[in-house]
A and B are shown apart, each in its own frame.
Chain A
């Protein structure tokens, strides 16, 4: 989607007809709108949302119509208040108008009509065609639940990095990167599979019906457990938030600050130690599964050596001479001593006996090879024992380390609980209660997982039984085939989803890191966690408590990265059915609000690269200086919002905003 033009007519403080065209130039893709405080910047940002989705997230949202226009309205007259948006998407040109009609009645009452919408696109032959299902069409072009990412308020944008917002982030990523479509397909194909099963159940004999009823029961039971687990996981999120709030509070209290910081650093050490222990245990399992057999080779190898040493080929055969050599002597008829070898001579007989006593090189080689291997097996066994010994020591040392760290963390908690300052002790006590509740819920989740696992096994077992059942009826056979086709496709889609989720996360991680390093001065790194949380770490790898400006930059990097990748996917030459992507504009109100001068410069320098179209709505003071300096060569259109202050303009003693293009 690329925005072409917005028209505001008697909308909020925009009196009369006001129009802004947006730059669509490739090398000057920025449109800047600047104005003083109160000049209507935020109203402009929200006018996009109102026009597209009918939401107006502003104070007194019912006051759509401009006050001065209303006061000028004569009896029995009406006016239109509207926002009209012109844009291009999927190679079509659209115009969308949301409007209300306001009427002053004969008895001087003001009547507001219901908001109405008219949407058209320009057809291939230039004719205008009306779109009736405009809500669906708008959502197809720019999904409503993603609007905050494209029309964002810089002063609220830092919310993205706060805990509890990972679900929004996950939703945005999945929607824009084509993962949501796979999730839905899996869900709906499974529903189709169940309906085929119902058909099969109706067609089948008593045994078939029994198996399917049992399967249904098990699946329902599993779904109930999955729902319960979801509720418990949501509860954990709430508890995590409450614990975090208390811990933040503890870092703010002078008497608890150091202890809380120490606890955080010990927790980090604990996390590292637990990760190391996991790696050690993994290595132990791998080593044992791949080389464990070596530990049992000693008796076999000893026995083989014994046989070969006492009764081996060396004892039975002539060594050092091969049969081929003796055969050659007999064939030439001359011994190595020069004596002729005649038929029926004792020399010939002797040589023939010797030839029989020799053996082929192959047998000797095999025996030697076996003995050599025996030594290698012995060496590998010794190495295995050394390796296991090393791993066991490391495991023991890490376990001790973990125990000590847990004790230290426990000790910190006790110190805080027994703190002389009542607030601190109370905060810690509450934190402990919450933490205990979380442990309890985690235990419940563990038990639920156990039940789900058990049910999964029972379902698989029953499904295998069902596959073996011979179906005499053709119709039943067909229903079963269809059911199986759905099952196979679900497996395929689940595999694809897992792979694509990994790819998308990797791509995003890479892109966010790049954008982040351009925008942020400090050498922090950003990480998109498994559960879609944006975490920032310092050079030592410790989590960072970010300032508002840093949070703003982090969120901006995320949004920039996702818009950039969506664009890249959309523009890919060879797209497959899973590629979603799209062209999205970035419309930002006060993106530089909480940033210092250096960061303003950095963001201004790089922001234009993130989207095909960037619209920056900014206060005059934020615009002038480093931002203007960095962006002026990128600006294709520039507007100033001129606020008419009734206190100073006696000719026009009413409030309104006028849009003026700056050339």
Chain B
């Protein structure tokens, strides 16, 4: 079961385009930097995600 699911997981990652992979990675990294804040209010996480997408999708 775990092996099967791991294969599914890998298949999803392989199915992503280079740009999508980069955006996903950057979003996760941005989230990690805010993960342990007790309160997310006032953090620019949504704007940061928008910037990540804007940088990669610009034409």
Contacts and interface: CB of A to CB of B under 8 A. Distances in A.
A144 B54 CA distance: 34
Q: Classify the interface of chain A: helix, strand, loop or mixed.
A: helix
Nearest to A142: B36
A415 interface: no
Interface in A266-304: none
20 contacts: A140-B35, A180-B35, A182-B28, A184-B34, A185-B27, A185-B28, A191-B49, A192-B49, A195-B46, A481-B57, A482-B54, A485-B53, A485-B56, A496-B12, A499-B8, A500-B9, A503-B2, A506-B2, A507-B2, A578-B28
Contacts of A493: 24
B40 to A, nearest CB: 8
A489 B27 contact: yes
Q: Which 5 A-B pairs have the closest CB atoms?
A: A139-B36, A192-B49, A140-B36, A191-B46, A577-B28
B35 A188 contact: no
Interface string B18-39: 0010011101110110111110
Contacts of A189: 27, 49
A185 B25 CA distance: 11
B20 A485 contact: yes
B34 to A, nearest CB: 8
A561 to B, nearest CB: 15
A139 B12 contact: no
A482 B56 CA distance: 9
B6 A181 contact: no
Given A482-B54, A499-B5, A506-B1, A489 B23 contact: yes
Given A481-B57, A500-B9, A143 B36 contact: yes
Given A492-B12, A503-B9, A136 B20 contact: no
A58 to B, nearest CB: 22
Contact of B57 (A143, A181, A485, A577): A485
B28 A188 contact: no
Interface residues of B, number: 33
B1 to A, nearest CB: 6
A188 B46 contact: yes
A172 to B, nearest CB: 14
A482 B50 CA distance: 9
A192 B20 CA distance: 15
B54 to A, nearest CB: 6
Interface of A: 135-136, 139-140, 143-144, 180-182, 184-185, 188-189, 191-192, 195-196, 478, 481-482, 485-486, 488-489, 492-493, 495-496, 499-500, 502-503, 506-507, 576-578
A576 B34 CA distance: 19
A501 to B, nearest CB: 10
Contacts of A192: 46, 49-50, 53
A584 to B, nearest CB: 14
A499 to B, nearest CB: 5
B11 to A, nearest CB: 10
B35 A478 contact: no
Which of A478, A481, A489 has most B Cβ within 10 Å?
A489
B57 A188 contact: no
A139 B38 contact: yes
B7 to A, nearest CB: 10
B52 to A, nearest CB: 9
Contacts of B36: 136, 139-140, 143
Given A499-B12, A577-B28, 19 more contacts: A140-B35, A181-B28, A188-B27, A188-B31, A188-B49, A192-B46, A192-B49, A192-B50, A195-B50, A485-B23, A489-B24, A489-B27, A496-B9, A496-B12, A502-B5, A503-B2, A503-B6, A507-B2, A576-B13
B39 to A, nearest CB: 10
Contact of A486 (B5, B6, B38, B53): B53
B37 A139 contact: yes
A196 B50 contact: yes
Given A478-B57, A481-B57, A482-B53, A503 B5 contact: yes
Contacts of B9: 496, 499-500, 503
B51 to A, nearest CB: 9
Contacts of B6: 503
A569 to B, nearest CB: 13
A36 B49 CA distance: 55
A481 B20 CA distance: 12
Contacts of A135: 38
Contacts of B35: 140, 180-181, 184
Nearest to B23: A489
Contacts of A181: 28, 31-32, 35
Which of B2, B20, B29, B49 has most A Cβ within 10 Å?
B49
A593 to B, nearest CB: 32
Which of B23, B25, B57 has most A Cβ within 10 Å?
B57
A507 B29 CA distance: 25
A263 B53 CA distance: 57
B26 to A, nearest CB: 10
Contacts of A578: 28
A578 B2 CA distance: 16
A83 B28 CA distance: 35
B50 A488 contact: no
Contact of A478 (B1, B24, B59): B59
Contacts of A180: 35
B4 to A, nearest CB: 9
